[in-house]
Homo-oligomer: A and B are copies of this chain.
Amino acid sequence: MTKRTFNVERFFQALGDNTRLRLLNLIGEQEICVCYLVEILGGPQPKISRHLAYLRSAGIVSARREGKWMHYRIVMPPHIGAAQILKQTLGWLKDDKSMQADRVRLTKACCSPSKYALLDGAPLPIPVQEASCKEC
């Protein structure tokens, strides 16, 4: 709704921030509620929200409202080249130590959301495409 034309500069700029890379890593192949992202990244909620807005404006993620919860998922850019780079980047993140740690913490949070004040009653992430969540 915001950015109609895909912008290459904007695309790379969106990837040039560690918080946004962490968000993309956590979202991965799921459609995930914002509250999980806030919980795992640990920062103030507006910070997360602003970075998600940036990713939206860059056309890298899309949002869906479900009641009072917002679900985010990664959308592949229209340009084949950009899509390949995004996939490659996500794969790259999987090999990163701190990114792996983030995902482990997300998995734990998913398995027992009631232990986290922010997550009590929150909807679980929904795998998209053919991906499956072995742990949960």
Contacts and interface: CB of A to CB of B under 8 A. Distances in A.
Contacts of A17: 9
A81 B92 contact: yes
B88 A92 contact: no
A88 B81 contact: yes
A15 interface: yes
Interface residues of A, number: 21
B81 A91 contact: yes
A12 B12 CA distance: 6
Contact of A89 (B13, B18, B85, B95): B85
A45 interface: no
Contacts of A85: 85, 88-89, 92
